[in-house]
């Protein structure tokens, strides 16, 4: 038996496993590919996702999903959001409704327009009190190198929150708890789109001033969408779950979402063929649709969607700039 089952052996799944094992817990990781399983078990490495990192004792891997699930009552969901639904279809045949769940995937079930936690509740009949979500400025490679950071754990239940916080926290990885599960999940979803926008601006080389402007415009958009669409609390969005994670993801050279924007700004034709996963790319369009349904103005999100759909980057930016000029004209000085 293991103390925790981790579904997904990508960068974040491996980093979470590293944290848990470093704190003395036994971890069973599920990976789709046998070569990843073999490397973890035989060499204590996952070189594709965390190169030059030796994994601590206590981590084992398997390609057998049932075996992994049956190994523990505490499960970490760490597959990319676009793969969650197919995985959930497989999970339905197992006894999982009473397990404790932590979701670390920062994305949505795009085809259904819903969050991952909502899918766990509606499709797998998992009790809401047994679901938690982790978000914050957390690059996997920095986690395993013990670089200081803070994560926000969103959870309704004190019992569930305590299980995961106590297991993950160490001297460099701090975990704050909030009952605002929606806010934590919204922050992890929304920050990725903003990072793509900043990547686009960096590629267009329009200067630092406009980058600062669009960043602040997007913060306002994210808060409007987060509070109105996801029913998040303002204080959650202004903390590490959204704003802190957005700063890290938008301005770091490690950011996959920023890189997607940078590549799109250069009209790189084969972005879909890149092996890395950038969650913001999958979520931007559905967030735009949800925002429009709530009559929320989201010009920066529209800029991202237009560019990713094939509109020339400068044309898309000119459209964004026109909208911002109209907003400026609509503002009035105090009387």
Residues that are catalytic: 191
In a 13 Å sphere around the CA of 165, the CA atoms on its Cβ side amount to: 17
Pairing of strands 114-115, 108-109: antiparallel
Sheet holding 173-178, edge to edge: 59-62, 27-30, 4-7, 74-77, 100-103, 131-135, 149-155, 173-178
Tokens encoding 6: 């981790």
24: which DSSP letter?
T
Taking each helix axis from N to C end, the angle separating 181-204 and 279-293, rounded to the nearest 10 degrees, works out to 110
Q: What's the CA gap between 318 and 135, in Å, rounded?
A: 33
Matching residue, tokens 């204080």: 235
Where in the chain does DSSP place strands (E)? 4-7, 27-30, 59-62, 74-77, 100-103, 108-109, 114-115, 131-135, 149-155, 173-178
Q: What's the CA gap between 294 and 148, in Å, rounded?
A: 38
């Amino acid at each position: 038996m293991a103390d925790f089952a981790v579904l997904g052996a990508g960068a974040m799944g491996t980093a979470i496993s590293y944290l848990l094992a470093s704190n003395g817990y036994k971890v069973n990781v599920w990976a789709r590919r046998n070569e990843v399983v073999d490397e973890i078990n035989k060499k204590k490495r996952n070189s594709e996702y965390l190169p030059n990192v030796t994994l601590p004792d206590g981590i084992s891997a398997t390609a057998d999903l049932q075996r992994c699930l049956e190994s523990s009552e505490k499960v970490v969901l760490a597959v990319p959001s676009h793969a969650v639904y197919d995985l959930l279809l497989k999970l339905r045949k197992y006894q999982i409704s009473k397990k404790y769940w932590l979701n670390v995937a920062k994305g949505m079930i795009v085809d259904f327009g819903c969050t991952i936690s909502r899918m766990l509740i509606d499709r797998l009949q998992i009790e809401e009190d047994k679901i938690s979500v982790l978000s914050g400025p957390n690059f996997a490679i920095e986690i395993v190198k013990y670089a200081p950071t803070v994560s926000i754990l969103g959870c309704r239940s004190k019992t569930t929150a305590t299980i995961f916080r106590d297991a993950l926290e160490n001297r460099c990885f701090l975990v704050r708890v909030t009952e605002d599960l929606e806010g934590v999940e919204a922050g992890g979803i929304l920050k990725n789109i903003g990072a793509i926008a900043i990547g686009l601006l960096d590629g267009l080389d329009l200067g630092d001033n406009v980058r600062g402007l669009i960043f602040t415009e997007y913060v306002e958009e994210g808060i409007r969408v987060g509070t109105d669409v996801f029913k998040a609390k303002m204080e959650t969005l202004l903390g590490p779950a959204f704003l802190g994670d957005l700063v890290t993801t938008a301005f770091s050279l490690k950011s996959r979402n920023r890189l997607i924007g940078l590549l799109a700004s250069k009209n790189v034709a084969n972005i879909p063929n890149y092996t890395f996963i950038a969650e913001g790319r999958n979520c931007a369009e559905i967030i735009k649709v949800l925002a429009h349904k709530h009559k929320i103005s989201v010009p920066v999100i529209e800029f991202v969607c237009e560019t990713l759909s094939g509109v020339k980057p400068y044309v898309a930016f000119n459209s964004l700039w026109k909208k911002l000029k109209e907003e400026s004209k609509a503002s009035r000085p105090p009387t």
